[in-house]
Amino acid sequence: MTKAYTPAEDRYDNGMKYRRCGKSGILLPEISLGLWHNFGAVNPLSDSMDMAHYAFDHGICHFDLANNYGPPYGSAEETFGQIMRRSFRPYRDELFISTKAGYDMWPGPYGNWGSRKYLMSSLDQSLKRMNLEYVDLFYIHRYDPETPLEETLQALVDIVRQGKALYVGISRWPKEAAKTGYDYLAAHDVPCLIYQGRYNIFDRDVEESGILDQAKENGVGFIAFSPLAQGLLTDRYLDGIPADSRIAHGGHLKKESLTETRLHQIKALNEMAERRGQNLAEMSLSWVLKDERVTSVIVGASSVNQIEKNLRALQSPQFSREELQQINDICSGDCGLE
C-alpha cells in the first residue's frame, strides 16, 4: 500500500517564480513539466508519480501533455489520470493541465491533423484518460496545410464554449497562420492564451522568424518546449551515450544529432556553465528564461534528480553581455576549445 500523498506546505514559497501569460489572467510557473517521455505505460508508474509529486511540491503546477504521448499513444494521459485519482484530485484547482491533438493518434482519416471531427473526439478521449472534466488548456498541436484554418479555429472556440477547455493555444504554426489564428480567436471572444514552440540555445527559430515578437504584440504568451534540446544541452552526453538516455532509447532524438561539432559545442558550453558555478542544464534553461517574452519553459525529465537540478535555474546568475556573445560564438562554431 503506497502512502497517501500530501503536497509540501511551502510549495509556493520554495523558489518558484510565476510569469503572466500574455495579456491574460493566468500566471504560469517559469518551469513547467512535460510528459512526452517517461510517463508512458512502458515506464514504472511509481517513477512517474515521484516526478509529478516532486514537481508539484516545488511549485510546478503546470503539466503539459498531448493525446499521443506515451508510448504507447494515450498512455501518458492514462498515467496522469492515475496520478489524478491517487493524489492530485484534491488539488485540481491548483493545477494547470494542458493537452493537444494534431499528430497521428488513431488509424483512418479522422485520427490526425486539424479537422473539427478529430479535435473534438480526441479531446473527449483525453478527458476520459486523464480522469478530468475539463483541461485548462487545449492546443492544436501542429499546422495542417489542408484543413481550412477557420475549421480548426472554430473547433477550438466551440471546445471552450462547451466547457471542455478553459483556454486554447497554438503549437508550431508558421507565423502567418498564427496571425490568422490570433485574429480569429480574438474576434470570437476566445483569445489565444499561448503559443508553444521549440526554443533553446541551439534552436532559435522562433526568435529569428518573429514568432516571439508576434506573440507579445498579440498579447499571447510563449512557452518553450525542448529547452534542453532533448537533453543535448545538459551533461548527459559529455562522456558518450548512457544506456538509459533518450538517444539510447532510439526515439525522437537520433544518435546522428550528436555530431562531432555538436559535442564540441556542448563541451564548450559546459565549461562556461562551470565557470558560472552551475551545471549546463541550469545555464541552458536560464538562457531561455532571460527573455521576458517567454512565459515558461517545459522541461522533460527521466528522474526526480533531473527536476531538482533544473529547478536550480531559477537562482541562476544573470548573463553578462560578454557571456551571451560567447554562447553565440560557441553556437556559430567558434567553440574556444582546442
Residues in contact with ligand NAP by CB under 6 A are: 34-37, 64, 141, 171-172, 196, 225-231, 234-236, 245-246, 281, 298-302, 306, 309-310
Element (H, E) at 138: strand 135-140
Q: Which is nearer to ligand NAP, 13 or 309 (CB)?
A: 309
Q: What is the rounded CA–CA span in Å between residue 122 and residue 139?
A: 11
CB atoms within 10 A of CB 224: 24
Q: How far is the CB of 234 from ligand NAP (least distance, A)?
A: 3
Q: Closer CB to ligand NAP, residue 121 or residue 245?
A: 245
Please identify, using beta-carbon distances, which residue of 24 and 245 lies nearer to ligand NAP: 245
Indicate the residue among 90 and 277 with the shorter CB distance to ligand NAP. 277
**Shortest distance, position 248 Cβ to ligand NAP, whole Å:** 8
Q: Do residues 300 and 36 touch, judged by C-beta distance below 8 A?
A: yes
Task: Please report how close the Cβ of residue 128 comes to ligand NAP at its closest, in angstroms.
Answer: 20
Q: Please, where are the H alpha helices in 6-74?
A: 45-57
Question: In whole angstroms, how close is the CB of 9 to ligand NAP at the nearest point?
Answer: 26
The tally of CA atoms less than 13 A away on the side-chain side of residue 323 is 18
Give least dist CB 97 to ligand NAP, A.
11
Confirm if 97 and 136 have CB atoms less than 8 A apart.
Answer: yes
129 in Cβ contact with 78 (< 8 Å): yes
Residue closer to ligand NAP, measured from CB, 142 or 264? 142
Nearer to ligand NAP, 230 or 322 (CB): 230
CA 111, CA 92: separation in Å to the nearest integer?
Answer: 29
Give 210's contacts (C-beta < 8 A, 6+ positions apart). 175
CB 168, CB 181: distance < 8 Å: no
Residue 162 beta carbon to ligand NAP: minimum distance, rounded to whole angstroms: 23
Smaller CB distance to ligand NAP: residue 164 or 246?
246
SS3 247: helix
148 contacts: CB under 8 Å, gap ≥ 6: none
Measured over the CA atoms of residue 157, residue 163, residue 164 and residue 167, the dihedral's sign is positive
Residue 70 C-beta: closest distance to ligand NAP, Å: 11
Residue 20 bridge partners (DSSP): 27
